[in-house]
Structure 1
């Protein structure tokens, strides 16, 4: 029996913290040795970031972002992704027409590097 894809739906959810860590390492090792594509479903951000080559972040059945762990963590596409992957600092504000400054709700203006409109 040699499947092309292995689907793991929350396989570590019932394990204690120490066993989870050991199993993460073991699953990753087996996956690398066999070369099988594995889809690993988890609600644990640390698990997703440490075990994945690519991550799909979903919200209510819709895809919010797809990318490498680094891309998703460092440049979240939406506020949901930023909040889901860690405690994000969210500041309400208005972006200027030029996209070079943001006026915060407090009235303070900050300069920004905006990679997209």
Structure 2
């Protein structure tokens, strides 16, 4: 719980936590068994913009500090850029581009990827 910024919250019921705190508890539970790969599917999608931005920064810090590999699914470009070292763009179930967000924006590879990235 200290790793996700909730020291001393172990005694509290999840139902008494805010949305952001509950997301942090879920992340702590996911990290506890120290998996080799963490799968996160839209983990911050139910949160408001400000909380998403804050938690995406925290999540990136935690993953890097723990040296953990994560497959992070999101449609939010800013969130992907904040969390990911490399971004994959999928179109119709196929991986169409892979690289840093900056590299993909500079050289998206094709029109669909460019349109998705807004370039």
TM-score with structure 2 setting the length: 0.70
8 Å CA contact 1:8–1:39 kept in 2: the answer is yes
Q: Distance in 2 between matches of 1:50 and 1:22?
A: 10
Give yes or no for the alignment of 1:74 onto 2:106: yes
Q: Encode CA deviations 1:8-45: one digit per residue, 9 max, x unaligned.
A: 10001000011001101110111011000011100111
Give the Cα separation in 2 of the matches to 1:33 and 1:67. 21
Whether 1:24 and 2:61 are equivalent positions in the alignment is no
Q: Which runs of 5+ in 2 are unaligned?
A: 1-32
Largest Rg, 1 or 2: 1
Per-residue deviation at 1:50?
Answer: 2.4
Q: TM-score, normalised by structure 1?
A: 0.71
1:9 aligns with 2:41: yes
Structure with greater contact order relative to length (CA < 8 Å, sep ≥ 6): 2
- The reply to whether residue 34 of structure 1 matches residue 61 of structure 2 is no
SS in 2 for 1:38: strand
Q: Which runs of 5+ in 1 are unaligned?
A: 89-117
Q: RMSD of the alignment, in Å? A: 1.0
Secondary structure class of the residue paired with 1:57: strand
Q: Aligned residue pairs: how many?
A: 87
Structure 1 stretches of at least 4 aligned residues deviating more than 2 Å after TM superposition: none
